[in-house]
Structure 1
Amino acid sequence: MSSTHGIPRPKPKIKPPKPRGPGTNVQEDWVKLSHAIKEIQNERANQLSFEENYRYGYNLVLYRQGDFLYKNVKTLIDEYLTQLTEEFIVPAFAAGNHADPTTRGQEGELLMKGLRKVWDKHNSSMRKLSDILKYMDRVYSVSAEVPQIIPAGLKLFLDNVLHRKTSPVQEQVVDAILGQIQVERDGYTINQTAVKECVEIYLQLEDQSAKQVYFTDIEPVFLAETRKFYVAEAEKLLQTCDAAEYLRRVEQRLDSEEARAYYYLSASTSPAVKAIVEANLLSPHLDTIVSMTGSGLDAMIDANKTDDINRMYRLFFEVSTHTGGPQAFRKGLRESILSRGRLINETNDPLNGGPDEVEEEKGKSKQNTPVQALSLALKWVQDSLDLKDKFDLILKYALLSDRTCELAITEALGSFINLNPRAPEFISLFIDENLKKGLKGKSDDEVDIVLDKTITLFRFITEKDSFERYYKSHLARRLLLNRSVSDDAERGMLAKLKVECGFQFTKKMEGMFNDMKLSADVMSSYRDYLANTTAPAVEINVTVMTSTFWPTTNSGAMCNFPPELLQACGSFERFYNTRHSGRRLTWQPALGNVDVKVAFKAKKHELNVSTFALVILLLFEKVADDDFLTYEDIKNSTQIPDPELQRQLQTLACAKFKILKKHPPSRDISTTDSFSFNSDFTSPLHKIKISTVASKVETQEERRETQDRIEEERKQQADACIVRVMKDRKVLGHNELVNEVTRQLAHRFHPNPAMIKRRIEALIEREYLERREDRKSYNYLA
């Protein structure tokens, strides 16, 4: 067997073509090549030999005729493009400005199709020419530093077709494109493919600076026309559409312009078009859209139009971010909440008579009874909770839980709640109503849910010290009258308040619970004491309240006790003093209640009434059935203050169980009224609980007294805070001291800088502080 591994194989070589002899005719090669080029342009290239025509071009370049070949090929292309333009484009020029959009669309479509046909024929011929002139591109074009044949063909197309000087091809084509866009904007269907193919030509052509012709010939004109269109469109829509429809149209325009740019224009045009739509349809009209009468943001919220609100939110936040959209939307949101809040404040103000008091009747203005005032107070809280729930849903589903909108809603809710000076009192009354024993229609879980929501309103209150005073007062009544729904519910509410405001806020309230427990032990010892001594005629159950814990111990209304009660009170005082020396007991009849048996003509009933009511009823014990006592008689005998006396008489004579008769009959108590015992009273119940309004809205006079006490407490708190800060810092400037005191007291109330200044002056007089020489700072005096 033979082997060929050691024998090297010769390297193949490409032999250069044999040089032509002196008889080679350049002109003859060009004639043949030019004929082939024309055949290619006339789409008859199937009869031609690629090798022969390649050889013609090769020979011309090889024999230094590249410049001759290059220029003559360009001339042939120029002539060909002129022929195509005159054949397919010029005849398709628009005949006139037709009013019919269909006719305009058809004319424009014909012109764009003609241009595309010329482009396709030109490109097809140029690709074939590039193949047979490849040697010229590789050798001559490089050495002569001229464009290769295909780039040169694109330049010729731009100069001899689009920028043709003898006919307005450019103007006609651009008008056709813009006309098609306008027809589509007017709501008609166009041939988008024809527009897309036409625009693609401009995207493939470049000018001398290598910039796409689309951005010099089409985009500027398109954007200018777009701007004009949307200026007119904005005026038309504002006159014919409501806010919701206007925003729908804007959204449709934005979507259609974006789709148009991406489909048959250029994606880079989309931001510019979007900016034009925004600048003309949205930015100048933001406030107009938000506040549009009957259809703006406020009306959308009223009608719960979540989709429309969401559309406004998206357009204002996503489109108009840099032109004030978010600010205008949040402003409208705040104003909507504040207007609703002001309406809630006005319609549920007990001093205004509530929503029903629109005019005076028969020369007398309607006066609210305590029950009506309480109902309005509770309705204010419920309406506020409903308003917050409404905007919570809007925030979640329409505003996509946007943080900035949440802050705007929170700020607006806090503003309207604090516009009502009675907000702390009303919220405390609402909690009181939900924590009372025997509340109908709500389970424990439902009550807990309501209380959790109420805590959200409590967070908005700036005067939390005012709420604390009212809440302690209402809690005291619930505990003393045994009206709490449960001890767990009460302590659960205290736990919620402690989480919000800290231990100091609930310390005294927890002391009240401790007093109730200790009082039970005291009464057990008192009963043992009575077993070894003479018991009074009236059995009493006493709750001993620590004066610093309970809010009403120093301000309760007093009265003249009947002898029976004085005896019982004296017995307990003697017992208590034997166990606690140095303590002084002050009786609080306003917080007590009594079980008393009353004999009527029909039968006896066991009544549960307040201590004041008992004192009043005992006055009628020695009065004949047909006799009566005047208001002044009762007042002089009992010494009960007027507000409390009127409240008790209204309960006894004007409520469901009329133990007394009022003369003349009416729902309101007057100082000129007189009263008699209703011996004809009947009821199927043996035990009857005649409850006064345990928690009521304060009168103007009571409110002034409460505010005065709160102001005194605030002075003490401010003094303590100033001293505490100065003791720590020793030396501090005035502004720094005011800021620090404001910060530390903010969890209780918002102190006025003028008030802080007055407290500083008072502390200087009491020599806790002194001014430094610069008169702008203070020293702490130990």
Structure 2
Amino acid sequence: MQSSPGIEQPPSRATSASQDRKRKRSSRQATTEDPSRQQTLQSLFAGQQKPQAASVRASPSKKRQRLECPAATGTPQKALNSSEMYSFSSRSSMSNGDGVIDLTNGSPPTPPQARRLNGAMKGRLGANSHTGAKKLVVKNLRTTTAWDSKAYLEKIWEQVDEALAVIFKDGIDGFSKEDLYRGVENVCRQGGASTLFSRLEGRCRQHVGRDLREPLLEVAGSDSVTVLKAVLAEWARWKQQMVTIRAIFFFLDRSYLLSSSKPTLSELTPQLFREIVFSNPSLKPKIIDGACDLVAAERLRTQALDQDLFKKAVEMFHELQVYTASFEPRFLGTTQEYVATWSDEMIVEKSVPEFVALAEGFIASEMDRCEEFALDASTRRDLLALLEDHFVVRKYQDLTDHVELGKLLDRSSLPDLTALYGLLNRRRLGDKLRPAFVKWIDETGTAIVFGKEEDMVIHLLSLKRRLDLIWRTSFQRDEVLGHGLRETFEAFMNKTKKGDATWGTDNTKVGEMIAKYVDQLLRGGAKAIPEVLTARRTSSITELPKGVQLPTAADEENNNEDDDVDEDAEINIQLDQVLDLFRFVHGKAVFEAFYKKDLARRLLMARSASADAERSMLTRLKTECGAGFTQNLEQMFKDVELAREEMQSYKQRLEDRIGYEKGKNVDLSVNILSAAAWPSYPDIPVVVPSNVKRAIDDFELHYKSKHTGRKLDWKHALAHCQMRASFKKGSKELVVSSFQAVVLLLFNGVAEDEHVPHSRILAETGLPEAEVNRTLQSLACAKLRPLTKHPKGREVNSTDTFTLNLDFSHPKYRVKINQVQLKETKEENRETHHRVAEDRNFECQAAIVRILKGRKKIAHAELVSETIKATMSRGVLAVGDIKRNIDRLIEKDYMEREEGGMYAYIA
């Protein structure tokens, strides 16, 4: 297509089209309004052959272009009429010879006659007459622009390249960022964004490889920390340079790079540095090792950690996106090498508490470093797992060693035990302490059980209290360790050993000693509680962790925050603790026998410190062992109440008698006991004073008059009385036993210097010699001595003589002399043990018969197992004892042996 010469092609299509439309409207208006302004197409095109060119001013920074019309020159054009405007040349002149009509060439005007002729011809030929195909060619009237975008891009790049050279030399002057920004924007708008980015990337890559990498390669032979510092300096410099470059190429970054697959300038900055500098084989190991060496120096305590340098290194690894792939594996690898060696050395050189403290400190410092320098969560997780693996999993056998744990338990070192359990429990290995923990408890408890009898229960209670505190505070109530604690207590407390302590029986000594300790509490009250076991004292605990207070049983039971605990609460606390021990005892028959005997003494001699405490203990036993266990004990309390009512009736009857004068007769008080409920006591002969004998006979007549068919057996050994005695320093009221009173009455009417021989006392009292010796020993050899023994000594012999101690004195008027009845003799202890052992044999035989009646036939091993289960609550039975009882039942024809080791019941 041809274009009119002299007209410059505008750079914008939209602007040219708008101008054309304006032209056409202007031409139509001129044709319609003023015929004188019309002209023919031929003259119009002819007039445009050499017009003064309309200059188009285009600004590369603006989208719209302005068309400036040239000023009118020469003479005004003549107005054309209608005939001149639409006159065309002949067809032959319009055709170019190939059948193509060129509308752009000028044609002579057609006269009106020709137009009429043509119209007539057209009418005659018709609208569809074929006159031959003609090709119509329309040529573009617009001319191409003279704007050269490539030249403009080169011009802008030349300016940008000069600015980059200045920037890469750390300069900031010598160029205008605003002009460069507009130049980059214009180039991007003209479609040169891709070329511009390619040149920029190449220039930056060249700069990083030449100006950054080459100087770093020169120092690559230095130590890792030096190389790391140099790399960080170049990285900071490169980032600063890219800040200025991004400001210049901001339009390129936002309009082109964001929507393309190419990296943005923010992504290009670390990408080039990572590919060219960091990935260099000579630099990469040094950079990573430099950061790891900083931490290693701090771990070895040879140098403090350069926090600023390490922080910048970690930030660079994150920005270069090499943290997970390069730094983290190396950091964890060096840590593992160090920790493996260090932990192996420390576990040998240090004790368990010291190793635990060092391990916890090491873990804490590593976790603090992760927090302080914003290391990834994956690093923290893997590092913690690594440390726990070396400190806990691989060392738990050393940490749970029996000897080392035993040292901590011996000292009751709660802080060390807490730290040890806390370290092990990081990997849920706290229960690995159970074997050593259980072994120490068994050894310690067994030594107590087979040790001194006097302090057995106190030591057991103290041990239980310490271990409960350790379990609650240090071991965080671990269920496995708690089960081990209870099972071990049950095991060693039921260990039996035939010896002098149990008089050759299999009875457990623990049940007897628990019963005696309860008797001590109920007789003495709160004053009888050892200081080490009081609720206010923590003497049994040597150390407490910081911030941990010892919880008392009162706090757990009553949730009372008051530090003051009254006597009743103290007794209840102690009874609860004793009951905890009592639950572990299998041989409860031994406890029952001794508790029943001691209770009888307390009730008969009115030595209970508190009736409420007695009832409270009875309620606890009933809850723990059932109503059958306490049936006889409850009957004993009922007998005492009934005896009190009986005595009131008797005294009322005495007052109603004629001639009864109060004060002249003996004030008698009698307890009527049920023989089945109370312990059996031996009948000891004694010569009762005549006035006491009359009072006893009178009460017996009264009782038999009310209850026919009953027999009273008087147990004078359990009696006690109050009597007045006169001494040089005044009169005293002595509280003594019946045997002591009988002996003291022998000294009435005796001269001051008269000696009463042992034989006389033996004959006049009618007591057995053993009882006489015990009684005289309590009166003449104890702390309070109303009698004087000649010669002096602790043992009473048949050749000794006794005189009344007229110099006896005491600050109180009412004086309690040591009563023999309150102390158990060896014979009584032996009889109790043998009776319990014999009762156990009867219970074993009864259990065997019950099992056979239900099973009819049973194997030997199964029969032994069932018998042990059935009799466990009453006492521990050895397999040999069970076999002996089976033989006895066979002899009594209760059962018989059959083939195959079977037993059958004989109906």
Match of 1:558 among 660, 663, 684: 684
Partner of 1:252: 361
Asked if 1:176 is matched to 2:290, the reply is yes
CA displacement 1:457-482 (0-9 Å, x = unmatched):
33343333222222111111111001
Partner of 1:495: 619
Partner of 1:608: 735
Question: Aligned partners of 2:469, 2:651: CA distance in 1, in Å?
Answer: 58
Asked if 1:278 is matched to 2:278, the reply is no
Corresponding letter in the other structure for 2:342: E
Question: Aligned partners of 1:32, 1:710: CA distance in 2, in Å?
Answer: 116
Summarize the Cα distance change of 1:439–1:196 in structure 2 as closer, same or farther, 3 Å threshold.
closer
Partner-residue secondary structure (3-state), 1:707: helix
Q: Is the 8 A contact 1:770 1:779 kept in 2?
A: yes
Corresponding letter in the other structure for 2:629: F
Match of 2:342 among 233, 236, 246: 233
Partner of 1:310: 418
TM-score (norm: length of structure 1): 0.73
Question: Aligned partners of 2:447, 2:878: CA distance in 1, in Å?
Answer: 28
Partner of 1:164: 280
Question: Aligned partners of 1:780, 1:764: CA distance in 2, in Å?
Answer: 10
Residue pairs, 1:352-501, within 5 angstroms: 377=454, 379-411=455-487, 421-436=508-523, 443-501=567-625
Partner of 1:261: 370
Corresponding letter in the other structure for 2:831: E
Q: Is the 8 A contact 2:418 2:475 kept in 1?
A: yes
- How big is the shift at 1:674? 2.6
Gaps of 5+ in 1: 1-14, 98-103, 207-212, 351-376
Partner of 1:360: none
Q: Is the 8 A contact 2:757 2:800 kept in 1?
A: yes
Partner-residue secondary structure (3-state), 1:594: strand
Question: Aligned partners of 2:835, 2:365: CA distance in 1, in Å?
Answer: 66
Partner-residue secondary structure (3-state), 2:635: helix
Question: Aligned partners of 2:493, 2:333: CA distance in 1, in Å?
Answer: 51
Q: Is the 8 A contact 1:476 1:512 kept in 2?
A: yes
Summarize the Cα distance change of 1:738–1:343 in structure 2 as closer, same or farther, 3 Å threshold.
closer
Partner of 1:185: 299
Asked if 1:517 is matched to 2:648, the reply is no
CA displacement 1:346-400 (0-9 Å, x = unmatched):
77x15xxxxxxxxxxxxxxxxxxxxxxxxxx3x5444544444445555555555
CA displacement 1:681-734 (0-9 Å, x = unmatched):
5335665432325554664x6544322222223334444455556666777776
Residue pairs, 1:216-227, within 5 angstroms: 216-227=325-336
Residue pairs, 1:328-367, within 5 angstroms: 328=433, 330=434, 341=445, 349-350=452-453
Partner of 2:785: 658
Please identify, of 51-60 and 453-462, the stretch whose mean Cα deviation from structure 2 is larger. 51-60
More helix by share: 1
Residue pairs, 1:614-693, within 5 angstroms: 614-617=741-744, 626-627=754-755, 629-630=757-758, 634=762, 638=766, 640=768, 642=770, 647-667=774-794, 669=795, 674-683=800-809, 687-692=814-819
Q: Is the 8 A contact 1:629 1:674 kept in 2?
A: yes
CA displacement 1:215-243 (0-9 Å, x = unmatched):
44223322232223234433665577665
- How big is the shift at 1:512? 0.2
Partner-residue secondary structure (3-state), 1:436: helix
CA displacement 1:33-66 (0-9 Å, x = unmatched):
597478557377825645654675787889xxx7
Corresponding letter in the other structure for 1:314: G
Question: Aligned partners of 2:249, 2:512: CA distance in 1, in Å?
Answer: 94
Question: Aligned partners of 1:33, 1:694: CA distance in 2, in Å?
Answer: 122
Asked if 1:46 is matched to 2:172, the reply is no
Q: Is the 8 A contact 1:605 1:686 kept in 2?
A: yes
Partner-residue secondary structure (3-state), 2:207: helix
Partner-residue secondary structure (3-state), 1:609: strand
- How big is the shift at 1:249? 3.0
Corresponding letter in the other structure for 2:385: A
Question: Aligned partners of 1:569, 1:80: CA distance in 2, in Å?
Answer: 128
Summarize the Cα distance change of 1:162–1:694 in structure 2 as closer, same or farther, 3 Å threshold.
farther
Partner-residue secondary structure (3-state), 2:615: helix
Question: Aligned partners of 1:31, 1:720: CA distance in 2, in Å?
Answer: 120
- Percent same amino acid among aligned pairs? 27
Question: Aligned partners of 2:258, 2:491: CA distance in 1, in Å?
Answer: 80
Partner of 1:356: none
Corresponding letter in the other structure for 1:258: M
Summarize the Cα distance change of 1:653–1:59 in structure 2 as closer, same or farther, 3 Å threshold.
same
Residue pairs, 1:319-330, within 5 angstroms: 319-321=426-428, 324-328=429-433, 330=434
| RMSD over equivalenced CA pairs, Å | 5.1
- How big is the shift at 1:520? 2.9
Please identify, of 179-188 and 433-442, the stretch whose mean Cα deviation from structure 2 is larger. 433-442
Question: Aligned partners of 1:35, 1:704: CA distance in 2, in Å?
Answer: 119
Corresponding letter in the other structure for 1:327: K
Partner-residue secondary structure (3-state), 2:735: strand
TM-score (norm: length of structure 2): 0.64
Corresponding letter in the other structure for 1:481: M
CA displacement 1:9-36 (0-9 Å, x = unmatched):
xxxxxx9999999998979958965974
Q: Is the 8 A contact 2:153 2:192 kept in 1?
A: no
Q: Is the 8 A contact 2:493 2:585 kept in 1?
A: yes
Partner-residue secondary structure (3-state), 2:818: coil
Question: Aligned partners of 1:618, 1:268: CA distance in 2, in Å?
Answer: 95
Match of 2:673 among 534, 541, 545: 545
Partner of 2:503: none
Residue pairs, 1:741-760, within 5 angstroms: 742=868, 745-752=871-878, 755=881, 759=885
Question: Aligned partners of 1:115, 1:396: CA distance in 2, in Å?
Answer: 56
Partner-residue secondary structure (3-state), 1:662: strand
Summarize the Cα distance change of 1:150–1:526 in structure 2 as closer, same or farther, 3 Å threshold.
closer
Summarize the Cα distance change of 1:566–1:774 in structure 2 as closer, same or farther, 3 Å threshold.
farther
Question: Aligned partners of 1:534, 1:779: CA distance in 2, in Å?
Answer: 73
Q: Is the 8 A contact 2:157 2:196 kept in 1?
A: no
Corresponding letter in the other structure for 1:311: A
Summarize the Cα distance change of 1:417–1:22 in structure 2 as closer, same or farther, 3 Å threshold.
farther
Aligned length: 706
Summarize the Cα distance change of 1:273–1:439 in structure 2 as closer, same or farther, 3 Å threshold.
closer
Please identify, of 491-500 and 414-423, the stretch whose mean Cα deviation from structure 2 is larger. 414-423
Partner-residue secondary structure (3-state), 2:802: strand
- How big is the shift at 1:437? 6.9
Partner-residue secondary structure (3-state), 2:782: coil
Please identify, of 184-193 and 222-231, the stretch whose mean Cα deviation from structure 2 is larger. 184-193
- How big is the shift at 1:87? 6.1
Gaps of 5+ in 2: 1-62, 66-141, 497-507, 529-565
Q: Is the 8 A contact 1:435 1:484 kept in 2?
A: yes
Q: Is the 8 A contact 2:778 2:819 kept in 1?
A: yes
Please identify, of 128-137 and 709-718, the stretch whose mean Cα deviation from structure 2 is larger. 128-137
